[in-house]
Amino acid sequence: MSDLENFRREIRTWLEANCPAEMREPVKDEDDVCWGGRNFHFKNAAQKAWLEVCAAKGYTVPDWPKPYGGAGFSAAEAKVWREELARLGARPPLSSFGIWMLGPALLKFGTEEQKVHYLGQIARGEIRWCQGYSEPGSGSDLVSLQTFGEDKGDHWVVNGQKIWTSYADKADWIFCLVRTDKTNKYQGISFLLFDMASPGVSTKPILLISGNSPFCETFFDNVSVPKNQIVGELNRGWDVAKYLLGHEREMISATGGGDRAGSLGASVSRAGALQDPVLRADLAQFDVDALAFSAMSEKFMDEVKVGRGHPAQPNMMKYAGTELNKRRLELVMAAGGSAALEWDSEASNGGSHARNWLRTKANSIEGGTSEVMLGVISKRILDLPGA
Ligand SMILES: Cc1cc2nc3c(=O)[nH]c(=O)nc-3n(C[C@H](O)[C@H](O)[C@H](O)COP(=O)(O)OP(=O)(O)OC[C@H]3O[C@@H](n4cnc5c(N)ncnc54)[C@H](O)[C@@H]3O)c2cc1C
């Protein structure tokens, strides 16, 4: 038996013994997602136990090195871990912007001290992070951002405003793009980390069409940020920001799901017989496309791990994955008929279909719009003239 097969058996045995039954159920609503952080309210004892037992083994971030809270798994071992979680239908023990976005950026650009400190907190689910990139007037054109950090010797004083900051009102800390040199557009931005409880930080939730308020306007009024809370070099935060965006786009592309989300045709037809031949054909086509997307994701991930990934691949993944997810929810709505539009009833689980459908409309905006992704693909992958 190969080492990897032995490893798979060990992981399978460990999961069977340690993953609580409640954590093997599909995620039904936001409460089922464990975000961690100082103010997180666990939905039940099983959610807390699952986080703790995984964090103790480094399984919340299995492919991070052990000194930074991970399990030190190789790429192949991490894949086995994901497959075994999926086999059991187990929920991820922890979901966080720290894991998906800040962590990879710290691994590449952080000092040793920052890695040990911040990555450990992320791995244990102690600190919840939000992303302070977009500003009113600086979304796609992010490099035009105006939030300013004035140099005061041993600290900066930050003033300005961010917008669309997901979960800013729930986050403990923010990773934030701040202009530290007004004379240089690209090389005048620094990547700062600071506590959302710092004096001068305030948030104002923004209401979405789904009826939820998952993001905020975020204001900085003379916020003091110590100099050791910069990641990377002064005025070179754009390099860190771009690297992090690649990981964000990969994360968002995962909404495409593919085979990990199971067959859409099967799940929709369980809810009622599907008589409409056009809808049946659309569902079959969707399932085929989702499987193709999943295979493409695996291939890209393998290429990245061995250093052969194209730097613009995350843009392609983000475009394909989010367009697929939007299609998925259009089909769910079409199959559900007028009942799928129910908004508040118990039978519709608080209007979960309609709210999820409306939420997908943002997929092709957040993390960079589909139009911007297509622009990058035209230029950097297809090398089209005039792009
Ligand atoms: C659900 C959600 C969560 C978000 N969370 C966060 C967060 O946590 N932190 C954060 O910092 N930001 C967040 N954002 C903001 C997101 O990154 C921006 O909305 C996005 O980058 C687009 O910027 P904008 O909204 O300013 O639109 P604009 O940049 O003003 O774009 C408006 C329109 O113009 C088009 N356009 C712009 N430039 C080009 C171009 N060069 N070529 C072709 N078309 C173009 C766009 O495609 C779009 O259709 C979030 C957004 C959403 C929807």
From 223, 218, 167, select the one nearest 195 (Cα to Cα): 223
Ligand 1: atom nearest CA of 97 is 8
Out of 209, 369, 372, give the residue to mutate to test ligand 1, the one with the largest number of ligand atoms within 8 Å of its CB. Answer: 369
The one-letter amino acid code at 73 reads F
| Token code pair at residue 148 | 């300013």
Q: What is the pLDDT of residue 288?
A: 94
368 CA to middle of ligand 1, Å?
5
Q: How far apart are CA 61 and CA 57, in angstroms?
A: 10
Domains of the chain: 3-95 (1.10.540.10), 129-236 (2.40.110.10), 257-381 (1.20.140.10)
Burial of residue 277, with CB atoms counted within 10 A of its CB: 0-12 exposed, 13-18 middle, 19 or more buried: exposed
Output b/e per residue, 185-224; b: 16+ Cβ within 10 A: eeebbbbbbbbbeeeebebebeeeebeeebbbbbbbeebe
Q: How many CA atoms lie within 13 A of 4 on its CB side?
A: 10
Beta bridge partners of 223: 158
Q: What is the pLDDT along the chain (387 residues), one digit of tens a residue?
A: 689 999 999 999 999 999 999 999 988 888 899 999 999 999 999 999 999 999 999 999 999 999 999 999 998 999 899 999 999 999 999 999 999 999 999 999 999 999 999 999 999 999 999 999 999 999 999 999 999 999 999 999 999 999 999 999 999 999 999 999 999 999 999 999 999 999 999 999 998 777 778 899 999 999 999 999 999 999 999 999 999 999 999 889 887 765 455 788 888 876 666 888 999 999 999 999 999 998 998 888 888 878 888 989 999 999 999 999 999 999 999 998 888 998 888 888 888 889 889 989 999 999 999 999 999 999 999 999 876
- Strand, coil or helix: 346: coil
Q: Is 116 a pocket residue for ligand 1 (Cβ < 6 Å)? A: no
> What is the model's pLDDT at position 352?
85
Q: Is the CB of residue 240 less than 8 Å from the CB of residue 231?
A: yes
Bridge partners of 193, per DSSP, are 175
Q: Which of 222, 209, 332 is nearest to 269 (CA)?
A: 332
> Considering only CA atoms, which residue is closest to atom 16 of ligand 1?
366
**379: its two tokens:** 């230029």
**pLDDT computed for residue 110 by the predictor:** 98
